[in-house]
A and B are shown apart, each in its own frame.
Chain A
Amino acid sequence: MGIEKFLFYFFAAILLVAATLVITVRNPVRAALSLVLAFFASAALWMLLEAEFLALVLVLVYVGAVMVLFLFVVMMIDIDLAQVKEGFSRMLPAGIAVAVGLVVVMAVVVGPEHFGLEGFGEVPRHGADYNNTRELGMALFTTFVYPFELAALILLVAIVAAIALTLRRRPGTRHQNPAEQVAVNAAERVRVVKMAAEPRDDAPVPTAEPGESKEEPR
């Protein structure tokens, strides 16, 4: 129990420091990287709670994918740091007051004595053969199958919304159409244009109009 407790405090401390850095560092890229560290630390905390699947998903999805997106967004917008900082010192007293108030209230309320933990007893520790992924799957695909399908619908709405909001067709971009390229035949490739013989430039100007002289680009 001792080592577990130590690990909890160790990772919790990292989490707190990293989360504080996210909102205090000046450089947005550093803030995003601090968030990565915060995700790692919370994954470790979940692991201590024996939620191994969620811990690994947190690392894979959030650290692996969501943070890449965050970095894209940070890079995409040219953040004017001076503008962001504007109003910071003006809002600071009010912000600190609210934060302190919230912390005090939470310190009073969110203690173990209020949770009625005695009613639940000691959380059992599982053996080495415990499979958290299986437990999760059993709950997800029997009891929570309705919320599970709803999750798919939310992902679908996310796809539709992302595409509807960001996809733009640019006029004038050129791109290949392989099907058309393959299906082309010789007659379409080359167009033989019959035209009257052109007089030489230094020859006297003829009276007749030249015929079709321009070839349309394909």
Chain B
Amino acid sequence: MLENYLPILIFMAVGLIMGAVVMAIGYLLGPQRPDSEKGSAYECGFEAFEDARMKFDVRYYLVAILFIIFDLEIAFLFPWAVVLGEIGLFALGAMAIFLLILVVGFIYEWKKGALEWE
């Protein structure tokens, strides 16, 4: 089975080597004359006004976690789709119940207004 993934391994190796080589060439061939002004932060010609890190609204978090939950749900659909033909109706019913439970969650989400940004 693993031989199927050999191209991906080669791809990863090539990617790593290419990245390393390009960075190494830049490092070796480029002139390096460091200067304190060159190294300082630059923002439209001014000193930086504030920290680059800013606080995110907690609502991003809510959207992200809801996304993950449904992402996980989708992950279950892949093996299901593969074996549906073999198991038949029972698998269909099992997944229907699974999705139904999550639809309850979706209705909850919708009705509570978690999908609205305001």
Contact = CB atoms under 8 A, between A and B. Distances in A.
A and B touch in the complex (CB under 8 A): yes
Interface of A: 4, 7, 47-48, 50, 52-53, 57, 60-61, 64-66, 68-69, 72-73, 75-78, 125-128, 130-134, 136-138, 140-142, 145, 148-149, 151-153, 155-156, 158-160, 162-163, 166-170, 173, 175
Given A75-B55, A128-B4, A66 B80 contact: no
B112 interface: yes
Given A127-B1, A149-B98, A169-B113, A72 B60 contact: yes
Which of B9, B72, B90, B118 has most chain A Cβ within 10 Å? B72
Given A61-B72, A158-B69, A163-B108, A145 B79 contact: no
22 contacts: A47-B2, A64-B71, A76-B56, A127-B1, A130-B1, A132-B1, A133-B78, A134-B86, A137-B87, A137-B91, A140-B76, A140-B79, A141-B94, A149-B94, A149-B97, A156-B102, A158-B69, A162-B62, A163-B109, A163-B112, A166-B62, A173-B118
A66 B61 contact: no
Contacts of A72: 56, 60-61, 64
Contacts of A153: 101
A166 B59 CA distance: 7
A61 B102 contact: no
Nearest to A138: B83
Interface of B: 1-5, 9, 53-56, 58-62, 64-69, 71-73, 75-76, 78-80, 82-83, 86-87, 90-91, 94-95, 97-99, 101-102, 104-106, 108-109, 112-114, 116-118
A140 B79 CA distance: 8
B109 A159 contact: yes
A25 to B, nearest CB: 16
A73 B1 contact: no
Contact of A133 (B5, B79, B86, B90): B79
Contact of A162 (B9, B60, B66, B80): B66
B105 A60 contact: no
A101 B90 CA distance: 50
B3 A128 contact: yes
Contacts of B53: 75, 78
A175 B76 CA distance: 36
Most buried by B among A65, A133, A159, A169: A159
Interface centre among A53, A132, A149, A152 (most CB of B within 10 A): A152
A85 B102 CA distance: 41
Contact of A175 (B79, B114, B118): B118
Contacts of A140: 76, 79-80
B94 A69 contact: no
